[in-house]
């Protein structure tokens, strides 16, 4: 794989040890021959921060990584995720692995996992990108909403529920899983739709093909919708539809060469199945 010679860092200073680890990695990058590094402490990126970079290294949790997805996708550069959070589904490297392997990574010792993104447009507003999910719900947490969902112009059904989660395969292990949705392999060509606490027991997750065009209409009187992108950016909708489809852009995640998706699932989700007893 091509080496990284111009590197940006995004650090979540609220994560214990993240700032110190980032300083270590900046020093390692300098010794590895990286020509240019820059460091941003905090989730909000200055405009054009990633311009001219070969990659961005995120030191924090999955939320920190999700915060740079939009900018990295538009800059068409990969993300190196170093976990200083709790779960770490998206951040592929632990602090110890990053310290030990950083020079190798910067020299081309990695693989790229291409992940699909959702394109979300609210009414006539601008498009936004989600790596995990788009949540559509009432502005008021305690209020149910009635939502109509259309797939390629055809009515799917109307939901009376707390909200609906639309997720990528990557995001299937996030809010979707907590709401009872399925785990989907990241390479699967699908978009999942999971209603949250629907008032019909037969309403379950629906998997759509990746070319589907979805539209969500608010049928609740006097209620504004909240549309949340990856839990990072929120919009309020009054009388406008929400359009969701697979984005034309994808995001590149840097992973170790020996990365195993199912090994991560076993570790993060505490799967066992008696493996500990096998010899």
Measured distance CA(158)–CA(272) in Å, rounded: 39
**In this structure, are residues 48 and 42 in contact, taking their beta carbons and an 8 Å threshold?**
no
The rounded Cα 18 to chain-centroid distance in angstroms is: 20
CA–CA dist 220, 239 (Å, integer)? 10
The CA radius of gyration of the chain, in Å to the nearest whole number, is 20
Q: Where are the alpha helices (DSSP H) in the chain?
A: 18-31, 62-75, 95-106, 175-178, 261-268
| Residues in CB range of 86: below 8 A, 6 or more apart | 61
Query: How far is it, in rounded angstroms, from Cα 48 to Cα 38?
Result: 12
Identified catalytic residue from 14, 23, 62, 243: 62
Question: Which stretches of 156-244 are DSSP H helices?
Answer: 175-178
230 is catalytic: no
Residues 23/59, Cβ–Cβ less than 8 Å: no
Residue 155, judged by CB atoms within 10 A of its CB (0-12, 13-18, 19+), counts as exposed
As annotated, the active-site residues are: 62
């Amino acid at each position: 794989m091509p080496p990284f010679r111009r590197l940006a860092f995004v650090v979540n200073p609220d994560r214990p040890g993240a700032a110190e680890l980032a300083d270590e990695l900046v020093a390692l990058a300098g010794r590895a021959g990286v020509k240019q590094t820059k460091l941003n402490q905090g989730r909000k990126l200055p405009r054009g921060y990633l311009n001219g970079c070969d990659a961005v290294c995120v030191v924090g949790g999955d939320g920190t990584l999700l915060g740079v997805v939009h900018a990295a996708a538009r800059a068409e550069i990969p993300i190196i995720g170093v976990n200083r959070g709790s779960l770490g589904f998206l951040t592929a490297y632990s602090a110890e692995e990053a310290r030990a392997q950083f020079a190798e990574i910067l020299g081309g010792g990695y693989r790229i996992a291409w992940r699909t993104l959702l394109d979300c447009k609210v009414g006539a507003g601008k498009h936004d990108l989600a790596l995990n999910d788009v949540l559509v719900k009432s502005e008021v947490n305690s209020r149910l909403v009635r939502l109509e969902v259309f797939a390629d112009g055809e009515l799917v059904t109307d939901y009376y529920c707390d909200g609906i989660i639309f997720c990528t395969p990557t995001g299937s292990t996030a809010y979707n899983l907590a709401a009872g949705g399925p785990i989907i392999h990241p390479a699967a060509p699908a978009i999942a739709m999971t209603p949250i606490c629907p008032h019909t027991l037969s309403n379950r997750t629906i998997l759509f093909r990746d070319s589907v065009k979805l539209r969500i209409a608010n049928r609740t009187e006097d209620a504004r919708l909240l549309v949340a992108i990856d839990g990072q950016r929120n919009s309020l909708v009054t009388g406008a539809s929400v359009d969701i489809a697979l984005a034309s852009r994808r995001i590149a995640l840097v992973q170790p060469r020996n990365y195993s998706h199912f090994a991560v699932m076993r570790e993060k989700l505490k799967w066992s199945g008696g493996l500990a007893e096998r010899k």
